[in-house]
Chain A
Amino acid sequence: MTSITDVSPAARRTAPLGLLAYVALAAVAVFFAATHSFDAYITNILMQAATYSVAVMGLTVVLGLCGQINLAQAAFFGLGAYAVGLGTVDYGLNFWVCIGLGLVTVLAAGAFLGASTIRLGGHYLAMVTISFQQIVTLVMINWIPVTHGPDGVSGISRPGLFTTAQAYLAFCVTVLAVVGYLVWRLPSSPLGRAMRAVRDNELAASVAGIDVQRTKVTAFAICALLGGLGGALFAGGFAYVSPDQFSFAESIVFLTMVLLGGVASPIGAVVGTGLLILIPEWLRFLKSVPGLYLAIYGLAVILIVLFMPDGIWGWISQFTRRFGSRSGVAPVRAEATALELRGSSGHAPEVLRVEGLAKHFGGLKAVDGVSFSVKRGSVHALIGPNGSGKTTTLNVLSGIYAPTAGSITLDGLDVTNLPPHRRTIAGLGRTFQNIRLFRTMTAVENVIIGAEHPGNPVQKAHHALDARARAALAFVGLGDRADELVTSFSYGHQRLIEIARALAGNPTLLLLDEPAAGLNSTEKLELTALLKRIAAKGLTILIIDHDMTLVSDVAEHITVLNFGRRIADGDPVSVLNHPDVVTAYLGSEPDAPY
Chain B
Amino acid sequence: MDLVLQLLFTGIGIGSVYALVALGFVLIFRATNVVNFAQGEFSMVAAFLMVIFAVDLGWPYWLSALLSLGGMAVYGVIFNLGVYYPLRHRTYLPVIISTIGASILVTNTMLALYGPQPQVLAPVFETPGFNIGPVYLDSQYLLIIAVTIVLVAFQYWFFEHTLLGKKLQATSQDKEMASLLGIPVAAMIMITFVYSALIGGLAGILVAPILFVSIQMGGTIALKAFAATIIGGFGDVAGAIIGGLALGVIETFGAAYVSVPYKDGFAFLVLVLFLVFRPQGLFGERVAEKA
Contacts and interface: CB of A to CB of B under 8 A. Distances in A.
Nearest to A293: B108
Interface stretch (A118-126, A156-164, A267-275): A118-126
Given A123-B35, A298-B108, A305 B271 contact: no
B275 interface: yes
B224 to A, nearest CB: 10
B103 A298 contact: yes
Nearest to B115: A290
Given A134-B223, A290-B116, A295-B105, A1 B100 contact: no
Contacts of A294: 104, 107-108, 111
Nearest to B225: A127
Given A2-B91, A400-B291, A130 B223 contact: yes
B288 A292 contact: no
Contact of B288 (A249, A252, A398, A401): A401
Tell me which of B37, B108, B115 has the highest count of chain A C-beta atoms within 10 A of its own C-beta: B108
Interface string B76-98: 00000011001100111110111
B240 to A, nearest CB: 14
A67 interface: yes
B108 A295 contact: yes
A104 interface: no
Chain B residues touching A, majority SS: helix
Contacts of B288: 400-401
B127 to A, nearest CB: 36
A513 interface: yes
Contacts of A248: 219
A138 B264 contact: yes
A71 B100 contact: yes
B101 interface: yes
A295 B275 contact: no
Contacts, number: 146
A119 B276 CA distance: 10
A338 interface: no
A451 interface: no
Contacts of A293: 108
A252 B230 CA distance: 24
B92 A302 contact: no
Contact of A69 (B97, B261, B262, B275): B97
B272 A128 contact: yes
A145 to B, nearest CB: 13
A395 B92 CA distance: 25
A259 interface: yes
B24 to A, nearest CB: 15
A309 interface: yes
A302 B105 contact: yes
B289 interface: yes
Tell me which of A123, A138, A401 has the highest count of chain B C-beta atoms within 10 A of its own C-beta: A123
Contacts of B35: 123, 126-127
Interface in B105-128: 105-113, 115-116
A354 to B, nearest CB: 18
A324 to B, nearest CB: 27
B279 interface: yes
B98 to A, nearest CB: 5
A513 B96 CA distance: 33
A550 to B, nearest CB: 21
B291 A295 contact: no
A332 B160 CA distance: 65
Contacts of A498: none
Contacts of B276: 116
A301 interface: yes
B250 interface: no
Contacts of A391: 291
Given A1-B91, A292-B108, A138 B261 contact: yes
Contact of A122 (B90, B93, B116, B289): B93
A540 to B, nearest CB: 21
Interface in B243-272: 261-262, 264-265, 267-268, 271-272
A134 B268 contact: yes
Given A69-B93, A128-B271, A134-B264, A291 B108 contact: yes
Contacts of B226: 127
Contact of A290 (B34, B86, B112, B264): B112
A301 B100 contact: yes
B112 A301 contact: no
Interface string A436-477: 000000000000000000000000000000000000000000
A361 to B, nearest CB: 9
B199 interface: no
A272 B96 CA distance: 20
B105 A299 contact: yes
Contacts of B90: 2, 309
A435 to B, nearest CB: 11
Contacts of A2: 90-91
Tell me which of A127, A132, A300, A391 has the highest count of chain B C-beta atoms within 10 A of its own C-beta: A127
A513 B113 CA distance: 59
A132 B272 CA distance: 10
Contacts of B271: 127-128, 131
B102 interface: yes
Contacts of A297: 101, 104, 108
Contact of B93 (A1, A135, A142, A301): A1
B97 A127 contact: no
Nearest to A113: B272
Nearest to B33: A123
Nearest to A400: B291
Given A203-B291, A292-B112, A305-B87, A120 B105 contact: no
A2 B91 CA distance: 8
Nearest to B109: A295
A393 to B, nearest CB: 11
B270 to A, nearest CB: 10
A123 B26 CA distance: 13
Interface in A132-187: 132, 134-135, 138, 142
A76 B277 CA distance: 25
B291 A135 contact: no
Contacts of B86: 306
A131 B268 contact: yes
B96 A126 contact: yes
Given A128-B271, A135-B265, A305-B87, 18 more contacts: A1-B94, A2-B91, A63-B93, A69-B97, A116-B272, A120-B279, A127-B35, A127-B37, A127-B226, A128-B272, A134-B223, A134-B264, A138-B261, A291-B108, A295-B109, A297-B101, A302-B102, A401-B288
10 contacts: A117-B275, A122-B92, A124-B230, A130-B219, A142-B262, A252-B100, A290-B115, A306-B86, A398-B291, A400-B291
The 10 A-B pairs with the shortest beta carbon distances in the complex, nearest first, are: A291-B111, A301-B101, A298-B105, A298-B104, A295-B108, A291-B112, A291-B108, A294-B108, A302-B101, A131-B268
